[in-house]
A and B are shown apart, each in its own frame.
Chain A
Amino acid sequence: MSGAVDTSAAELIEGPAVEPRPSAVRRFFNAWLVRRLFKAVLTVFIVTTGTFFLVRLLPGNPVDTYIQTQIAQTGISYEAAAAQAKNLFSLDPNQPLILQYLHYMANMLHGDFGNSVLSPGTTVAQVIKTYLPWTLFSVGVATVFSFIIGIVAGMIMAYRRETWIDHLLTSIGSLLHAIPNYILAILIVVFLGVKLQFFDLTAARGSYTPGVTPSFSFSFLNDIFYHATLPILAYALTTVGSWALVMKSSTVETLGEDYVTVARARGLSDSRIRSGYVGRNAVLPLFSQLAVSLGFVVGGSIFVEKIFGYQGIGFSLYNAVNGRDYAVLQGIFLVVTISVVVANLLADLLYSRLDPRIRVQGKG
């Protein structure tokens, strides 16, 4: 790591003069991309391995617990119970640990996460396929909204520093930043749902109205947005404050840069400076935080979805935790982590397109 930083410093000083061939740049990008991909795969590998040993080695090992309860409840033989456990958890408890581990990894590669313990006959993959898209949808829409609104608010705050609008927006931003998403969800339910009756809370439960067939029609879109409005509102309101405050700092810093002074001296129009020089550069650092925030929001979905009864991955995770459905628990944990890894990767790729320096420095 330190070596990479040192060479990049030399690289920046001496510049492309050392190797002006375009193929070198290409090689550099490729190397960065390969490194970045390797990091993503390594993360998934470490998390998968960690999950395996967590499930196998922690107190109250769920595989053994399951076998014991099956024997106690149904009176079947140990072999039969072990065979069932093998099917459920994709682990055969009678194999040596290393073989179990290899099997587990091989199954994961095929997308086989085993079967649900609570609802027999349902595979973990099916559970995830049913619930994950709704979380990705609501969290995604909320993130896009709060990111855009936050950036605009942050720039307004930076440009109108020490005016009433800056003070007002900063106070609102700090307040929203301080409120946990589940607390805001409770407040939304109390005030918008129960007191003002803006939303029919019972009708808005679930990810779409039961009986409605999913399609690309307007009425279905309308329906899913109706159900997702409250979760989106909760996510967006609790994240917009941090985006605005971070964007404010970033913009204020950019405003102090020499190239902005030079642009002013050159007599460029204010709007050109605002969008081309200040906005573009101030927003760059925020992209690297986008992925981290996505992980945070997806994690927070367990609270928000439970409170609104929105049937996404957080809701099913809550059910799995409560019912000790270890197979589902394990599967959801892995899939959520993998989605965050992928989101990180995408954000980094986007960031590297916007800011070429990152490719040279090789830091994510």
Chain B
Amino acid sequence: MTEATIPVSAVGTTGVSRFAGILRSLRRSPAGFIGFVIVTLLVLVTAIVPFFLPNVAPNVKEILLPAGSPGHLLGTDNEGKDVLIQMVGGGRTVIFVGFFAAAISTALAIVLGSLAAYLGGWVDTVVVTLADVFLTVPQIVLLAVMGAFFKLDSPILLALLVGGLSWPVLTRAVRAQVFSLKEREFVEAARLLDLGTVRVVFVEILPNMASFILMNFMIGVTNAIYQLVGLYLLGLAPLTGSNWGIMLNRAWIAGAIFNDASLAWILSPVVAIILLLLGLVMMTRSLEEILNPRLRDR
């Protein structure tokens, strides 16, 4: 239903100034701005701060210290590793896989959706049928099954798999948008000038959907993070290295919920994940308001 309701705004603006416009409007909506700040901070902190922190090493003398212990603000885990350092360093894989997977599925959706709408015919039929099939198969179940077949030991492989499975929703939305855009005069003109399919689709049509695509990209990031952390939590993705999902998995298996001293151990990745996803959802929602003026203040 969103396909039909999101208005495609006037032509003539370039992709760059359009993007600046999105950022400007994002600042105007308080919730969107807060979301933007939360996400930016989390990305910066998890990307940069770990370089300045000591490596966490197991320490048998300091097992399961409660939060607030000297030297360990959030306590330690069942191997004596500092929870705060793990929490700060544990966002990298999660955020990277989330953004990378969303970039893959967004790119797939743009190419498949716009070509299906622009070329029509059998290309359209094949893309729509495939999208419908993939849309029906519950992705988590497919991921779990694939996880049993493949050794998903690198974050890039995981991102490829998650991104490669989650293109259908956006593909259908892009297709619907391009359908309406290709009837516009400026596209008609570009076609008459014989600028070539690729040029018309990617230079003339797509920049008009920039904010719409950005919004869906963020939804994609949210979904990828949901799936990724879930797979780690259940131990369905290999538990090498350290990230929020792996922290959750280890704390859950160790029964951290039953021990007051180790509550901070399981709750810190929980809080981090909620903050990240909340920031993304707030950004997405304010973008939706920008795209749909009826939702804005009258």
Contacts and interface: CB of A to CB of B under 8 A. Distances in A.
A329 B148 CA distance: 9
B285 A180 contact: no
Nearest to A337: B137
A47 B133 contact: yes
Nearest to A60: B149
Contacts of A140: none
A190 interface: yes
B56 interface: no
Interface string B268-287: 00100110011011100100
Interface string A153-172: 00000000010000000000
B274 A183 contact: yes
Given A174-B285, A303-B233, A340 B274 contact: no
Nearest to B226: A180
Tell me the interface secondary structure of chain B in the complex: helix
Contact of A336 (B128, B141, B147, B278): B141
Contact of A180 (B149, B229, B288, B294): B229
B144 A321 contact: yes
Interface residues of A, number: 62
A179 interface: yes
A46 B98 CA distance: 28
A177 interface: yes
B278 A178 contact: yes
A249 B2 CA distance: 10
Nearest to A325: B148
Interface string B132-158: 110111111110110111100000000
A295 B277 contact: no
Contacts of B292: 249, 253
Interface residues of B, number: 55
B248 interface: yes
Interface in A1-46: 1-2, 5, 39, 42-43, 46
Contacts of B258: 194
A187 interface: yes
Interface string B252-266: 100001100001001
A98 interface: no
Interface string A302-320: 1100110000000001100
Interface string A163-206: 00000000000110111101100110110011000000000000
> Max chain B CB contacts within 10 Å: which of A54, A300, A303, A333?
A303
24 contacts: A2-B120, A47-B137, A54-B145, A54-B149, A60-B149, A174-B278, A177-B281, A179-B277, A183-B270, A194-B258, A250-B1, A252-B294, A256-B294, A285-B1, A296-B138, A299-B138, A299-B141, A300-B140, A302-B141, A303-B230, A326-B148, A329-B145, A330-B145, A337-B141
Interface of B: 1, 5, 31, 120-121, 124-125, 128-129, 132-133, 135-142, 144-145, 147-150, 179, 222, 226, 229-230, 233-236, 248, 252, 257-258, 263, 266-267, 270, 273-274, 277-278, 280-282, 285, 288, 292, 294-295, 297
